[in-house]
Structure 1
Amino acid sequence: MRIPQYYRRKGWQRFFAGMIIGGFISWFIFLFMFGTLQEKQTLLIEKQKEEIKDSKKYVSILQEDLKKLNKENKESLLVQEIKVKITNAEKFGLKSDSLDIFQAQEKIQEDLSDLLAKDLESVYKNNEIIEKTIENKTLKLNEKRYQVEIQKVGYFTTIEFYVELKFAD
Protein backbone atom coordinates (compact mmCIF):
# COMPACT_ATOMS: atom_id res chain seq x y z
CA MET A 1 0.00 0.00 0.00
CA ARG A 2 1.20 3.29 -0.99
CA ILE A 3 0.54 6.84 0.30
CA PRO A 4 -0.84 8.98 -2.52
CA GLN A 5 1.29 11.87 -3.63
CA TYR A 6 -0.70 14.86 -2.50
CA TYR A 7 2.09 17.32 -3.15
CA ARG A 8 1.30 17.24 -6.87
CA ARG A 9 -2.40 18.12 -6.58
CA LYS A 10 -3.17 21.81 -6.08
CA GLY A 11 -6.32 21.33 -4.01
CA TRP A 12 -4.56 19.18 -1.48
CA GLN A 13 -1.59 21.53 -1.42
CA ARG A 14 -3.88 24.44 -0.59
CA PHE A 15 -5.64 22.38 2.05
CA PHE A 16 -2.37 21.40 3.76
CA ALA A 17 -0.97 24.91 3.38
CA GLY A 18 -4.19 26.28 4.92
CA MET A 19 -3.89 23.83 7.77
CA ILE A 20 -0.28 24.82 8.44
CA ILE A 21 -1.03 28.56 8.17
CA GLY A 22 -4.18 28.12 10.29
CA GLY A 23 -2.16 26.17 12.84
CA PHE A 24 0.45 28.97 13.01
CA ILE A 25 -2.22 31.66 13.26
CA SER A 26 -4.15 29.78 15.93
CA TRP A 27 -0.85 29.09 17.78
CA PHE A 28 0.02 32.82 17.73
CA ILE A 29 -3.51 33.72 18.85
CA PHE A 30 -3.21 31.17 21.65
CA LEU A 31 0.20 32.53 22.66
CA PHE A 32 -1.14 36.10 22.60
CA MET A 33 -4.21 35.26 24.69
CA PHE A 34 -2.24 33.04 27.09
CA GLY A 35 0.49 35.69 27.43
CA THR A 36 -2.05 38.42 28.08
CA LEU A 37 -3.83 36.35 30.70
CA GLN A 38 -0.53 35.31 32.30
CA GLU A 39 0.63 38.93 32.36
CA LYS A 40 -2.60 39.95 34.12
CA GLN A 41 -2.17 37.09 36.59
CA THR A 42 1.47 38.02 37.20
CA LEU A 43 0.53 41.66 37.83
CA LEU A 44 -2.24 40.53 40.19
CA ILE A 45 0.16 38.25 42.07
CA GLU A 46 2.76 41.04 42.39
CA LYS A 47 0.08 43.43 43.61
CA GLN A 48 -1.09 40.87 46.16
CA LYS A 49 2.51 40.26 47.27
CA GLU A 50 2.91 44.00 47.91
CA GLU A 51 -0.38 44.11 49.81
CA ILE A 52 0.70 41.11 51.90
CA LYS A 53 4.06 42.73 52.58
CA ASP A 54 2.40 46.01 53.61
CA SER A 55 -0.14 44.13 55.72
CA LYS A 56 2.61 42.17 57.49
CA LYS A 57 4.48 45.40 58.19
CA TYR A 58 1.29 47.01 59.48
CA VAL A 59 0.51 43.98 61.65
CA SER A 60 4.04 43.97 63.09
CA ILE A 61 3.73 47.68 63.91
CA LEU A 62 0.37 47.06 65.58
CA GLN A 63 1.80 44.14 67.54
CA GLU A 64 4.70 46.27 68.76
CA ASP A 65 2.26 49.01 69.78
CA LEU A 66 0.10 46.42 71.52
CA LYS A 67 3.11 45.11 73.43
CA LYS A 68 4.01 48.66 74.47
CA LEU A 69 0.44 49.37 75.56
CA ASN A 70 0.27 46.11 77.50
CA LYS A 71 3.54 46.97 79.22
CA GLU A 72 2.30 50.48 80.02
CA ASN A 73 -1.02 49.12 81.31
CA LYS A 74 0.79 46.61 83.44
CA GLU A 75 2.94 49.39 84.87
CA SER A 76 -0.01 51.67 85.35
CA LEU A 77 -1.78 49.05 87.45
CA LEU A 78 1.04 49.15 89.99
CA VAL A 79 1.11 51.48 92.95
CA GLN A 80 3.50 54.22 91.94
CA GLU A 81 3.01 56.81 94.67
CA ILE A 82 1.50 57.18 98.12
CA LYS A 83 0.12 60.52 99.30
CA VAL A 84 -1.06 61.34 102.79
CA LYS A 85 -3.09 64.47 103.51
CA ILE A 86 -4.01 65.56 107.01
CA THR A 87 -7.37 67.30 106.80
CA ASN A 88 -7.84 68.79 110.25
CA ALA A 89 -4.37 70.15 111.11
CA GLU A 90 -5.71 73.68 111.70
CA LYS A 91 -7.97 72.39 114.46
CA PHE A 92 -4.91 71.61 116.60
CA GLY A 93 -3.09 74.81 115.76
CA LEU A 94 -0.84 73.22 113.15
CA LYS A 95 -0.37 74.98 109.84
CA SER A 96 -0.90 72.82 106.78
CA ASP A 97 2.52 73.83 105.46
CA SER A 98 4.43 73.37 108.72
CA LEU A 99 7.35 71.05 109.23
CA ASP A 100 5.44 69.00 111.81
CA ILE A 101 2.69 68.16 109.37
CA PHE A 102 5.25 67.28 106.72
CA GLN A 103 7.09 64.98 109.13
CA ALA A 104 3.83 63.32 110.17
CA GLN A 105 2.93 62.68 106.53
CA GLU A 106 6.41 61.30 105.91
CA LYS A 107 6.17 58.91 108.89
CA ILE A 108 2.89 57.52 107.61
CA GLN A 109 4.28 57.22 104.08
CA GLU A 110 7.33 55.34 105.43
CA ASP A 111 5.03 52.79 107.05
CA LEU A 112 3.29 52.32 103.72
CA SER A 113 6.42 52.30 101.55
CA ASP A 114 6.11 48.52 101.13
CA LEU A 115 3.08 49.12 98.95
CA LEU A 116 5.09 50.83 96.23
CA ALA A 117 5.37 48.81 93.01
CA LYS A 118 2.76 46.32 94.23
CA ASP A 119 -0.18 45.18 92.20
CA LEU A 120 -3.16 47.47 92.73
CA GLU A 121 -5.56 44.55 93.10
CA SER A 122 -3.56 42.92 95.91
CA VAL A 123 -3.23 46.27 97.68
CA TYR A 124 -6.99 46.78 97.49
CA LYS A 125 -7.64 43.28 98.83
CA ASN A 126 -5.46 44.07 101.87
CA ASN A 127 -7.00 47.48 102.53
CA GLU A 128 -8.20 46.54 106.03
CA ILE A 129 -4.68 45.64 107.11
CA ILE A 130 -3.34 48.84 105.61
CA GLU A 131 -5.98 50.93 107.38
CA LYS A 132 -5.25 49.21 110.71
CA THR A 133 -1.55 49.89 110.22
CA ILE A 134 -2.21 53.58 109.80
CA GLU A 135 -4.82 53.86 112.56
CA ASN A 136 -2.56 52.15 115.10
CA LYS A 137 0.10 54.76 114.42
CA THR A 138 0.69 57.31 117.18
CA LEU A 139 2.43 60.52 116.13
CA LYS A 140 4.26 62.95 118.38
CA LEU A 141 3.95 66.55 117.20
CA ASN A 142 4.88 69.59 119.32
CA GLU A 143 5.25 67.47 122.45
CA LYS A 144 1.71 66.14 122.00
CA ARG A 145 0.65 62.68 120.95
CA TYR A 146 -1.89 62.24 118.20
CA GLN A 147 -3.80 59.24 116.96
CA VAL A 148 -4.46 58.95 113.20
CA GLU A 149 -7.92 58.16 111.86
CA ILE A 150 -8.58 57.47 108.19
CA GLN A 151 -11.43 59.42 106.64
CA LYS A 152 -11.12 58.50 102.99
CA VAL A 153 -8.84 56.42 100.77
CA GLY A 154 -8.41 56.80 97.03
CA TYR A 155 -7.08 53.73 95.21
CA PHE A 156 -5.43 54.20 91.87
CA THR A 157 -1.82 54.19 90.72
CA THR A 158 -1.45 56.87 93.37
CA ILE A 159 -3.01 55.87 96.68
CA GLU A 160 -4.28 58.91 98.57
CA PHE A 161 -5.04 58.74 102.29
CA TYR A 162 -7.10 61.53 103.82
CA VAL A 163 -6.57 61.31 107.56
CA GLU A 164 -7.60 63.24 110.63
CA LEU A 165 -5.67 63.69 113.81
CA LYS A 166 -7.14 63.29 117.27
CA PHE A 167 -5.52 63.38 120.70
CA ALA A 168 -4.16 60.06 121.85
CA ASP A 169 -5.50 58.86 125.20
Structure 2
Amino acid sequence: MHYRASRGITLVELLVVIALVAIVASFAAPSFTGSLRSNRVNAALSEFNGLFQYARTEALTRAASVELARNGDTWSVTTGSQTLRQVTLSRVTVATSAATITIRANGTLNTSLVALFCADDQAARAQKLLIDRTGRSRTLAQGKDEDGKALTQCTL
Protein backbone atom coordinates (compact mmCIF):
# COMPACT_ATOMS: atom_id res chain seq x y z
CA MET A 1 0.00 0.00 0.00
CA HIS A 2 1.31 3.40 -1.03
CA TYR A 3 0.66 6.58 0.94
CA ARG A 4 1.02 9.95 -0.72
CA ALA A 5 2.70 12.69 1.23
CA SER A 6 0.40 15.53 2.18
CA ARG A 7 1.02 18.54 -0.06
CA GLY A 8 -1.07 21.18 1.70
CA ILE A 9 -4.09 21.78 3.87
CA THR A 10 -7.70 21.10 3.16
CA LEU A 11 -10.41 23.72 2.95
CA VAL A 12 -12.00 22.38 6.16
CA GLU A 13 -8.73 22.76 8.08
CA LEU A 14 -8.33 26.32 6.82
CA LEU A 15 -11.89 27.24 7.86
CA VAL A 16 -11.38 25.78 11.33
CA VAL A 17 -8.20 27.83 11.84
CA ILE A 18 -9.91 31.01 10.59
CA ALA A 19 -12.84 30.41 12.97
CA LEU A 20 -10.48 29.92 15.94
CA VAL A 21 -8.54 33.10 15.09
CA ALA A 22 -11.81 35.06 14.85
CA ILE A 23 -12.95 33.80 18.26
CA VAL A 24 -9.66 34.71 19.94
CA ALA A 25 -9.64 38.13 18.25
CA SER A 26 -13.15 38.88 19.47
CA PHE A 27 -11.98 38.38 23.07
CA ALA A 28 -8.81 40.44 22.61
CA ALA A 29 -10.38 43.46 20.85
CA PRO A 30 -11.97 45.15 23.92
CA SER A 31 -8.76 44.82 25.90
CA PHE A 32 -6.75 46.19 23.00
CA THR A 33 -9.12 49.17 22.64
CA GLY A 34 -8.77 49.94 26.35
CA SER A 35 -5.00 49.80 26.06
CA LEU A 36 -5.08 52.23 23.16
CA ARG A 37 -7.16 54.68 25.20
CA SER A 38 -4.79 54.41 28.15
CA ASN A 39 -1.77 54.96 25.90
CA ARG A 40 -3.37 58.05 24.32
CA VAL A 41 -4.08 59.51 27.77
CA ASN A 42 -0.56 58.74 29.03
CA ALA A 43 1.05 60.22 25.92
CA ALA A 44 -0.99 63.43 26.15
CA LEU A 45 -0.32 63.79 29.87
CA SER A 46 3.42 63.27 29.35
CA GLU A 47 3.50 65.73 26.47
CA PHE A 48 1.64 68.37 28.49
CA ASN A 49 3.81 67.84 31.57
CA GLY A 50 6.91 68.09 29.38
CA LEU A 51 5.61 71.37 27.95
CA PHE A 52 5.00 72.67 31.47
CA GLN A 53 8.52 71.67 32.57
CA TYR A 54 9.93 73.38 29.47
CA ALA A 55 7.98 76.56 30.28
CA ARG A 56 9.24 76.51 33.87
CA THR A 57 12.83 76.00 32.74
CA GLU A 58 12.51 78.89 30.28
CA ALA A 59 11.17 81.17 33.01
CA LEU A 60 14.11 80.31 35.25
CA THR A 61 16.68 80.56 32.44
CA ARG A 62 15.37 83.87 31.09
CA ALA A 63 14.66 85.27 34.57
CA ALA A 64 11.34 86.45 33.16
CA SER A 65 7.70 85.44 33.36
CA VAL A 66 6.46 82.86 30.86
CA GLU A 67 2.85 82.02 30.06
CA LEU A 68 1.40 78.61 29.37
CA ALA A 69 -1.90 79.21 27.60
CA ARG A 70 -4.59 77.15 25.94
CA ASN A 71 -6.28 77.96 22.66
CA GLY A 72 -8.62 75.07 21.77
CA ASP A 73 -6.53 71.89 21.61
CA THR A 74 -3.25 73.81 21.37
CA TRP A 75 -1.13 74.82 24.34
CA SER A 76 1.52 77.50 23.84
CA VAL A 77 4.49 78.72 25.84
CA THR A 78 5.03 82.44 25.31
CA THR A 79 7.13 85.20 26.74
CA GLY A 80 6.06 88.69 25.78
CA SER A 81 4.89 88.38 22.18
CA GLN A 82 7.28 85.52 21.35
CA THR A 83 5.91 81.97 21.12
CA LEU A 84 8.57 79.54 22.30
CA ARG A 85 6.80 76.22 21.79
CA GLN A 86 3.37 74.78 20.99
CA VAL A 87 1.76 71.39 21.52
CA THR A 88 -1.55 70.19 20.13
CA LEU A 89 -3.38 67.52 22.14
CA SER A 90 -6.05 66.41 19.71
CA ARG A 91 -6.88 62.76 20.45
CA VAL A 92 -7.87 63.32 24.07
CA THR A 93 -10.12 65.65 26.02
CA VAL A 94 -8.25 67.93 28.40
CA ALA A 95 -10.21 69.69 31.13
CA THR A 96 -8.23 72.26 33.14
CA SER A 97 -8.86 74.48 36.13
CA ALA A 98 -7.34 77.47 34.27
CA ALA A 99 -6.83 78.31 30.59
CA THR A 100 -3.67 80.33 31.28
CA ILE A 101 -1.02 80.16 33.94
CA THR A 102 1.91 82.47 34.46
CA ILE A 103 5.21 81.03 35.55
CA ARG A 104 7.25 83.66 37.31
CA ALA A 105 11.00 84.19 36.96
CA ASN A 106 11.59 82.21 40.16
CA GLY A 107 9.66 79.18 38.84
CA THR A 108 6.52 79.65 40.92
CA LEU A 109 3.03 79.87 39.41
CA ASN A 110 0.37 82.51 39.78
CA THR A 111 -2.17 79.74 40.41
CA SER A 112 -2.22 76.00 40.84
CA LEU A 113 -3.42 73.88 37.91
CA VAL A 114 -5.48 70.73 37.72
CA ALA A 115 -5.63 68.98 34.34
CA LEU A 116 -7.77 65.94 33.57
CA PHE A 117 -6.87 63.89 30.49
CA CYS A 118 -9.57 61.63 29.09
CA ALA A 119 -10.02 59.59 25.90
CA ASP A 120 -13.42 58.68 24.44
CA ASP A 121 -15.21 59.90 27.60
CA GLN A 122 -13.91 56.92 29.60
CA ALA A 123 -13.42 58.28 33.13
CA ALA A 124 -12.12 54.92 34.37
CA ARG A 125 -9.04 55.38 32.15
CA ALA A 126 -8.63 59.14 32.70
CA GLN A 127 -5.69 60.66 34.56
CA LYS A 128 -5.26 63.83 36.55
CA LEU A 129 -2.17 66.00 36.66
CA LEU A 130 -1.82 68.34 39.62
CA ILE A 131 0.61 71.27 39.52
CA ASP A 132 0.87 73.33 42.69
CA ARG A 133 1.95 76.96 42.95
CA THR A 134 5.56 76.00 43.69
CA GLY A 135 5.76 74.27 40.29
CA ARG A 136 5.71 70.71 41.62
CA SER A 137 3.69 68.39 39.42
CA ARG A 138 2.34 64.96 40.21
CA THR A 139 0.23 62.47 38.33
CA LEU A 140 -2.59 60.62 40.06
CA ALA A 141 -3.41 56.96 39.49
CA GLN A 142 -5.47 56.09 36.44
CA GLY A 143 -9.19 56.63 37.03
CA LYS A 144 -8.68 58.12 40.51
CA ASP A 145 -9.10 61.59 42.00
CA GLU A 146 -7.12 63.29 44.76
CA ASP A 147 -8.94 61.31 47.47
CA GLY A 148 -8.34 57.97 45.75
CA LYS A 149 -12.00 57.73 44.70
CA ALA A 150 -12.96 56.59 41.21
CA LEU A 151 -13.47 59.29 38.62
CA THR A 152 -17.02 59.27 37.28
CA GLN A 153 -16.80 61.86 34.53
CA CYS A 154 -14.27 63.58 32.29
CA THR A 155 -14.89 67.08 33.62
CA LEU A 156 -13.56 69.03 36.57
The alignment's TM-score, normalised by the length of structure 1, stands at 0.29
Query: Highest Rg: 1 or 2?
Result: 1
The alignment's TM-score, normalised by the length of structure 2, stands at 0.31
Q: Identify, as 1 or 2, the structure richer in helix.
A: 1
